[in-house]
Amino acid sequence: MDGMRVLPADLAALATGVQPATIRDWRRRGLIKPVGGTPRRPLYALADLHAAKQAPKPRRQLQTAA
């Protein structure tokens, strides 16, 4: 973590302008990974957070009637 800016989830949400649930969703989807902290209070790299915010949004597949 040399020189890398890291934030806990609550501050990561504030820094990126999203809800804390979005940070958890990004982690679940594999867009971000903790770079430190503890399992209950992970730390995320600010650069990873900004990259996740720019990532394409997931799209639902429309189902057609058979």
In a domain, 61, yes or no: no
Are 17 and 54 a contacting pair, CB within 8 Å? no
pTM reported for the whole predicted model: 0.81
Encode pLDDT of 12-57 as tens digits: 999 999 999 999 999 999 999 999 999 999 999 999 999 999 988 8
43 forms bridges with which residues in the sheet? 8, 36
In a domain, 59, yes or no: no
Domain count, the chain: 1
In a domain, 42, yes or no: yes
SS3 52: helix
Residue numbers of the domain that contains 45: 6-54
Query: What is the residue-wise DSSP string for 1-46?
Result: -TT--EEEHHHHHHHHTS-HHHHHHHHHTTS----EE-SSSEEEEH
